[in-house]
Amino acid sequence: MTMIRKTISILLASATLMSLAGCGIIGKKSIPEEWYKDAIEYYRDAAQNGAANESTEFFISSDMRDPGSGTKFGYTLVDLDGDGAEELLIGIVDDDSHTKFTNVVVYHSDLGPYCLLSGGEGYYIYLCNDNCLREDSWYGSETKTQYMKYNHENNAFTIVEGKYLAKKVELTPF
């Protein structure tokens, strides 16, 4: 009799767990494999041709609007929040000691691929240790810096305290 009770208990617990996971209460977000391929192609086209085909979901930074400027762009994929899904970072390929990013594209749970942060010309994003992002903006001679971490559950960046060191990141060029 106890074997039957154990089996029924295990089945009930399994059914409850499966139903919770199906409702999104347990488990990570569901992201299509290689969701970023279309976004990479979009930014590759923008880096080569400017903003002729700009989309409302994927802002093209001011640095990328002039393909004749000589500025080179690339991308990297980084799991910013440790959820197992990588986010797409578009940046400038140069010799600086840390990489300047102009766009951070995430897989938004409601919208699909979406450019959540964008910068350029007086506003840049840097990837720091602990996958924190540093956002620098300039107004004349004044620089404003803030640090933030991505939270996929809220589809947003949360401002965090502290100072984090910006990193040099190898980008795959467009």
Q: What is the 3-state secondary structure (H, E, C) of 56-69?
A: CCCCCCHHHCCHHH
Percent with pLDDT over 70 in the chain: 81
Mean pLDDT of the chain: 80
- Single out the residue of 98, 114, 106, 121 nearest to residue 167, CA to CA: 98
Do the beta carbons of residue 59 and residue 115 sit within 8 Å? yes
Do the beta carbons of residue 131 and residue 149 sit within 8 Å? yes
Task: Say if residue 6 is in the same domain as residue 55.
Answer: no
Question: Residue 15 sits in which domain range?
Answer: 1-29
Task: Say if residue 4 is in the same domain as residue 84.
Answer: no
Task: Say if residue 68 is in the same domain as residue 109.
Answer: yes
Task: Say if residue 24 is in the same domain as residue 43.
Answer: no
- pLDDT (0 to 100) of residue 62: 78
Percent with pLDDT over 90 in the chain: 34
Task: Say if residue 97 is in the same domain as residue 165.
Answer: yes
Distance (Å, rounded) from C-alpha 54 to C-alpha 150? 25
Task: Say if residue 137 is in the same domain as residue 158.
Answer: yes
Task: Say if residue 77 is in the same domain as residue 10.
Answer: no
| Tens digits of residue pLDDT in 125-165 | 999 998 999 999 888 888 899 999 999 888 889 999 998 99
Q: Is 3 helix (H, G, I), strand (E, B) or coil?
A: helix
Task: Say if residue 23 is in the same domain as residue 48.
Answer: no
- pLDDT (0 to 100) of residue 79: 94
Q: How confident is the model at residue 21 (pLDDT cuts 50, 70, 90)?
A: very low
Task: Say if residue 11 is in the same domain as residue 53.
Answer: no
Quick one: which H or E segment has residue 4?
A: helix 2-22
